[in-house]
């Protein structure tokens, strides 16, 4: 089974890697593809602080290169127009005809999926692994499953899984030891000149900082440049 980890990765952070490792182990994935979106249709308000897609892809590549089960995939960067997951899944389904696909979503992203393009087709096209993500939220799939696909699924009595009535796809809620990190908090720290060394993958840290993409003043001192303050890791994830 191949996992698809979609996101803006603006930038990739340690919370992404922690979730990716936990899901890969829990589901015994043969591969996990990180798929940065080129033009995310749902993050328009964030446009001013969206790093160029090629930069975000490059950082993902650096972050995953030491894990043989992980790979960065540029499928959404190759396609013009908004990056709709349903289109990506169709293309990946043609590429991996022998494999089942599971989309990996944090609980926050999963709750939003009813507003994504063609949600009913989406939920019928792949399995979905929903991971926990701080802050902890009461409830489970019965509370989070988007309204528009509710009738398509039979949920287990414990609320931890569901099966599509016709398509044979499933949804599973995976409790993982998630890290309390977000890309928006990282962008905010970089703009304020605070270190993000403990928050982003070590292999991508220097490139993210050097890009200056999130600097409030692009000519200012990089927060993680030698001699800059405050101390790296001062504010922990």
- How far does CA 46 lie from the centroid of its chain? 16
Question: Residue 114 CB, nearest distance to ligand ATP (Å)?
Answer: 15
Respond yes or no on whether the N-terminal peptide bond of residue 133 is cis (omega within 30° of 0).
no
140 lies in the binding site for ligand ATP (CB under 6 A) = no
133 lies in the binding site for ligand ATP (CB under 6 A) = yes
What DSSP character marks residue 201? -
CA dihedral 16, 90, 50, 174 (to 10 degrees): -20
Query: Quick one: 88 or 131, whose CB is closer to ligand ATP?
Result: 131
109 lies in the binding site for ligand ATP (CB under 6 A) = yes
Residues 9-48: x where in contact with ligand ATP by CB under 6 A, - otherwise, as a string? xx----xx--x-----------------------------
Query: Quick one: 207 or 228, whose CB is closer to ligand ATP?
Result: 207
Binding residue for ligand ATP (CB under 6 A) from 2, 4, 35, 105? 105
Structural contact between residues 73 and 98, judged by C-beta atoms closer than 8 angstroms = no
131 lies in the binding site for ligand ATP (CB under 6 A) = yes
SS3 171: strand
Query: Quick one: 45 or 94, whose CB is closer to ligand ATP?
Result: 45
Contacts of 129 (CB under 8 A, 6+ apart): 3, 23, 26, 27, 102, 103, 104, 105, 171, 172, 174
Q: Are strands 161-164 and 153-155 parallel, antiparallel or unpaired?
A: antiparallel
Nearest-angstrom CA–CA distance, 180 and 5: 18
Q: How many residues bind ligand ATP (CB under 6 A)?
A: 19
Residues 171-200: x where in contact with ligand ATP by CB under 6 A, - otherwise, as a string? -------xx-xxxx----------------
**Binding interface with ligand ATP (CB under 6 A):** 7-10, 15-16, 19, 105-106, 108-109, 131, 133, 178-179, 181-184
């Amino acid at each position: 089974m191949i996992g698809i980890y979609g996101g803006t990765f603006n930038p990739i952070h340690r919370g992404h890697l922690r979730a990716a490792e936990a899901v890969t182990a829990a589901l015994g994935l043969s591969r996990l593809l990180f798929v940065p979106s080129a033009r995310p249709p749902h993050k328009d308000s964030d446009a001013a602080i969206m790093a160029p897609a090629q930069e975000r892809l490059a950082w993902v590549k650096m972050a995953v290169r030491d894990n043989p089960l992980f790979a960065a995939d540029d499928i959404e960067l190759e396609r013009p127009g908004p990056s709709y997951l349903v289109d990506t899944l169709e293309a990946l389904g043609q590429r991996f005809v022998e494999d089942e696909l599971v989309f990996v979503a944090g609980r926050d992203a999963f709750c939003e999926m009813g507003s994504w393009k063609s949600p009913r087709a989406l939920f019928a096209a792949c399995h979905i692994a929903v991971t926990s993500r701080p802050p902890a939220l009461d409830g489970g799939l019965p509370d989070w499953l988007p309204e528009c696909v509710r009738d398509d699924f039979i949920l287990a009595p414990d609320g931890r899984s569901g099966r599509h009535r016709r398509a044979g796809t499933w949804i599973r809620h995976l409790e993982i030891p998630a890290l309390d990190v977000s890309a928006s908090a990282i962008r905010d720290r970089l703009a304020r000149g605070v270190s993000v060394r403990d928050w982003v993958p070590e292999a991508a840290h220097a490139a993210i900082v050097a890009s200056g993409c999130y600097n409030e003043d692009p000519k200012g001192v990089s927060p993680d440049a030698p001699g800059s303050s405050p101390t790296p890791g001062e504010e922990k994830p």
